[in-house]
Amino acid sequence: MATLHVNIVSAEQAIFSGEAEMVVAPGETGELGILPGHTPLLTRIRPGTVKVKLAGQEHDEVIYVSGGILEVQPKGLTILADTSIRARDLDEAKVKEAKRQAEEALTNRASGQDRALVVAELAQLAAQLQAIQKLRRK
C-alpha cells in the first residue's frame, strides 16, 4: 500500500509526523484530498480540520488548523499552520463561550478594523466547533 509522509507543524509545536494513506485539508476554495503520488502543490489553507487517514489503521487523526500553507512534494506533505490543535484536545464549552463573546462583541462594534478582527475570530471558532463535531461522528 502506497503512503506519503505527513508533517503538520505550527509555531507552537510539531503536532503530527507519520505515514498516511490520504490527507483531506481545508483549501481556500474547498476541501483538498491528497493521495500518494499527488502532483506537487503549494497552496494556502483556511481554518478548519485536517483529516489524516493513518497507514494501516482504522481511525483517522483529526487536527484543527487556523490556516496556513500546505505543500505537497513527491514523497510527502507538509502543513505549516498558524495554530494547530488535535480535535480531541479542543474544549467544546470554552469554544462555545468564546464564540458567544465574539458574537456579542461583533454586535457592539461597528468600526472597520475591530469588526474584521472579530469576524476572523468567529471563523476560527466555527472551524474549531466543526472539528469537535467531526471527531464526535467517528
What is d(CA 16, CA 14) in angstroms, rounded to the nearest whole number? Answer: 6
Mean pLDDT for the chain? 84
Q: Find the helix packing angle between 112-137 and 92-108, rounded to 10°.
A: 160
Q: Looking at the structure, do residues 77 and 97 belong to the same domain, yes or no?
A: no
Cell numbers 502543490 correspond to 41
Residues 48-62: what's their mean pLDDT?
90
Sign of CA dihedral 80, 86, 91, 92: positive
Kindly state the percentage of the chain with pLDDT values over 90.
38
- 80 and 14 belong to one structural domain: yes
Residue with the larger pLDDT of the pair 23 and 59: 23
Mean pLDDT confidence for 70-82: 94
Residues 18 and 67 both lie in one domain: yes
Question: What are residue 8's DSSP bridge partners?
Answer: 16, 79
**Containing structural domain, residue 114:** 91-137
Residues 45 and 69 in one domain: yes
- The alpha-helical segments, DSSP class H, found in 44-111 are 92-108
- Bigger pLDDT: 37 or 12? 37
* CATH number for the domain harbouring residue 58: 2.60.15.10
Structurally, the chain folds into a number of domains equal to: 2
For residues 26 and 77, membership in a common domain is answered with yes
For the whole prediction, is pTM greater than 0.75?
no
